[in-house]
Structure 1
Amino acid sequence: MNSLFIVTFTLFNAVTFGYSSELDYDGWLQIRLYHALNDDPIPYFTERGNITVTSIRTGAPTLAQMGLQPSQIANLETLAHRGTNYRLKAVIRSSSGTESTFLTSVPACHLLGTDLEDILTVWLDLAAEPVAINQISPGPCTLSKTSTNMWTTSIQIRYPDGGPTPDTASYIYKLEKEKEARERGEVKDNRSFLAKYWMYIVPALIFVVLTSAANPDAAAGGGNGGQRQ
């Protein structure tokens, strides 16, 4: 196995390890939640609570959320009767020091149907930085009064799906074997003349064109040599 295969295989493994180390990186997230219980085009956000994810690999959260006041429950019921959404804002700070703000929403009637139960999914990129947050509530949709004023929240941490990894090492090995077989004459080269020797033909054509362009007088003189004075 020659040095080209060894170097390429080493680089491929290094890149793969780099992505794996980012995916396996264990950091933390601090999430500040704010919600809007009004139905205006511009939401009026008030504080809902804080969530700390101590390990993004395990997704273990620590939640500290405030219960809804009677007036807030009444506003949530108004949103449900109007068929509108409960809006949530999340300000997420990661262990790298970056801070991002995300918006999400869920039908208000679903929160009434589950007695203020919701699921927050935080999506991270390959560098373990938050890129989105989604709120869902399983429902069912109902207009009945909630039996509690306390939130029941679950946190999920998700990475993007990487998809299948190409078998680059095997492909390079196959190319090397075919090259060695051609050099030993075991594989017949069925390429055309131009396909085999284009790297020699093209420079020759370029040289001819450049030579002709550099001597226009000689070409003109040759054309007038047959004219009678």
Structure 2
Amino acid sequence: MYLTYGTVLTFLSLFSFISASELDYDGWLQVRLYHSFDDLPVPQYTERGNVTISSIRSGAAIVAQPSISNANVDKLSKLAENGSKYRLKAVVKTSSGSETTFLSSVLACNLVGSNLQDTLYIWLDSTAQPVAVNLMSRGPCSQDSPATQMWTTEVQVKYPDGGPIPDTATYIQKIEREKQARESGEVKDNRSFFAKYWMYIVPALIFFVLTSATNPEAGGAGGGGGGGAQR
């Protein structure tokens, strides 16, 4: 049974829409950041700042963060000395109204070594909903105090790449031409003889080989029996 032209058109059009949906959708995100400078099992978070992403497609972000206090610089340096982690809590609100909390962390010594330079990765799914928030700092591990008390934060929005959109129009035209050719009887089978009938030739060949291999064994068995009878 062949698929109708309309069925194929509907299926491929739907596939194209799904593939491009994450590229066509746009929206905004608001992220409230909280951080912890303690090493307790249950961290105590204080406000760090806010991130406003006006377009998830472009990733355009505005970061508002006050400088870190002297007391928190000392706490961060102590975390670095102990090999502990600086912990971050991000509360992400989307343009659809949903709100999700994510936790992340980074070695305090890397944050100190980078002079408070870090990167905030916000991961979205195909419906533009946040699925993860990760904090990274690429600085060398250092136990000294940072050279500045100002944050330098880069924000990157990551979402699935739908890949190239298929050329549905060309494919549909090809299907339609093949359909019309079948209906008018214009389709010719240009395959070789073996390509057409291999499913019959191969079993016959196997049967012939097996038969040829079995007959000599049967003849040899008869001759041996005769020799035994003569004794």
TM-score (norm 2): 0.71
Report whether the alignment pairs 1:100 with 2:103: no
Which whole-Å CA distance do the structure 1 matches of 2:176 and 2:142 have between them?
64
Task: Measure how far apart 1:21 and its partner are.
Answer: 3.4
**Structure 1: stretches of 5+ with no match in the other structure:** 194-229
Select between 112-121 and 60-69 the one with higher mean Cα deviation. 60-69
8 A Cα contact 1:5 1:172, kept in partner: no
Structure 2 counterparts to residues 175-194 of structure 1, below 5 A: 177=178, 184=185, 186-187=188-189
Overall identity of the aligned pairs, in %? 44
Which whole-Å CA distance do the structure 2 matches of 1:165 and 1:75 have between them?
51
Amino acid at match of 1:107: L
Q: Compared with structure 1, are the counterparts of its residues 60 and 181 closer, same or farther at alpha carbon in structure 2 (3 Å cutoff)? A: same
Q: Compared with structure 1, are the counterparts of its residues 113 and 136 closer, same or farther at alpha carbon in structure 2 (3 Å cutoff)? A: same
Amino acid at match of 2:33: L
Which whole-Å CA distance do the structure 2 matches of 1:45 and 1:67 have between them?
16
Structure 2 counterparts to residues 40-189 of structure 1, below 5 A: 40-163=40-163, 170=171, 173=174, 177=178, 184=185, 186-187=188-189
Amino acid at match of 1:152: T
Amino acid at match of 1:177: E
TM-score (norm 1): 0.72
Which whole-Å CA distance do the structure 2 matches of 1:181 and 1:36 have between them?
71
Which whole-Å CA distance do the structure 2 matches of 1:91 and 1:27 have between them?
17
1:35 partner SS: strand
Q: Compared with structure 1, are the counterparts of its residues 5 and 107 closer, same or farther at alpha carbon in structure 2 (3 Å cutoff)? A: same
1:131 partner SS: strand
Which whole-Å CA distance do the structure 1 matches of 2:9 and 2:109 have between them?
56
Deviations 1:180-208 (A, max 9, x none): 55984734875989xxxxxxxxxxxxxxx
- How many residue pairs match? The answer is 192
Amino acid at match of 1:22: E
For the aligned residues, what is the CA RMSD?
Answer: 3.1
Corresponding residue for residue 215 of structure 1: none
Deviations 1:113-137 (A, max 9, x none): 1111100011111111111111111
Structure 2 counterparts to residues 188-227 of structure 1, below 5 A: none
Corresponding residue for residue 5 of structure 1: 5
Task: Measure how far apart 1:10 and its partner are.
Answer: 3.6
Amino acid at match of 1:141: C
Which whole-Å CA distance do the structure 2 matches of 1:75 and 1:24 have between them?
45
Corresponding residue for residue 23 of structure 2: 23
8 A Cα contact 2:9 2:172, kept in partner: no
